[in-house]
Amino acid sequence: MAGLNPKLKLGENERHGKRSLWENKTTMPGELDQKLKLANRVAIVTGGGHGIGKAIAVTLAQNGARVMICGRQKELLDTTVREVVATGSEAAMTITDVSDETQVQTMVSSTLERFDHIDILINNAGVAGPTAPVTGVTRAEWDEVMAVNLTGPFLCAKAVIPHLIQQRSGKIVNIASIAGKLAYALRSPYAASKWGMLGLSQTLALELGQYNVQVNAVCPGPTAGDRMQFVIAKRAQELGMPEQDVEKLYVEGTALKRMVDPRHVAATVLFLVSPDSDSITGEAWDVSAGYAL
């Protein structure tokens, strides 16, 4: 069952994460808030404990958002919460399995209780799944990937949408993958889930446009971090190759000849949840270092 972290208190004058912003002696609080793209916005970031999700949570907070960080590993979430609070913004966390509808509903209720409203949903939680040919993938492995990577975003969107419709504004960004646009041998459940996420994103964009809610997807390519190293190790094992050779194949497959920096994915998400993107919906943005061009 999802549980809400007790409200973080940084001191009497730091309530709501304002002190570090207001201590700027050359700028009045209202003037500074106007410069923050996401001032007064509330964001939910699933899978926010590490990697891309963590980078997104911190980036949104740096731009004024108050953030509910969700995931399944408390230790990782605690770390992200501390980093968000260090930006001067406000954070809370819930232990949430996005494939469980009851836990998702509790996550949304906890966010409303803590922050009063919701403006932004980032569907980032996901699992890598198996590395094997289709004949080597079990039904249980297939079901797990679909439950987290595709059903999870569906459940989170379903729970948040009524609130966005009521306020007639909001942003949903689904973190898909370049694997949702290409064939990806040995990763059929993962690729299928990400292709499905793009279809979900476009359908939601069409359904919600009349309510001034924008829905977009971001498709990272091979992204530096622990998740990518795990994928490389599993692929090396399946192919009987050294890990460094598999990593080289991913890097050489990009136009920029390097892995994607998670912060660059986060910067794209920031644009898509800011007022600058109010006329953009139903799109899938590649942040892939030019993978498979």
Catalytic residues: 190
Beta bridge partners of 44: 68, 121
CA dihedral 82, 85, 90, 96 (to 10 degrees): -20
Paired tokens of 198: 């793009």
Question: What DSSP character marks residue 4?
Answer: B
List Cβ neighbours of 191 (8 Å cut-off, separation of 6 or more).
177, 179, 180, 182, 183, 184
- Cα 184 to Cα 117, 181, 193, 236, distances in angstroms: 39, 9, 12, 15
Rounded distance between C-alpha atoms, residue 172 and residue 162, angstroms: 13
In this structure, the strands spanning 42-46 and 66-71 are parallel
Interaxial angle between packed helices 51-62 and 74-86, expressed in degrees from 0 to 180 and rounded to the nearest 10: 30
What secondary structure does DSSP assign to 171-201, as a single string?
EEEEE--GGGTS--TTBHHHHHHHHHHHHHH
Residues 37, 63 contacting (CB under 8 angstroms)? yes
What secondary structure does DSSP assign to 241-278, as a single string?
--HHHHHHHHHHTSSSSSPBPHHHHHHHHHHHHSGGGT
Rounded distance between C-alpha atoms, residue 103 and residue 198, angstroms: 24
Residues 120, 42 contacting (CB under 8 angstroms)? yes
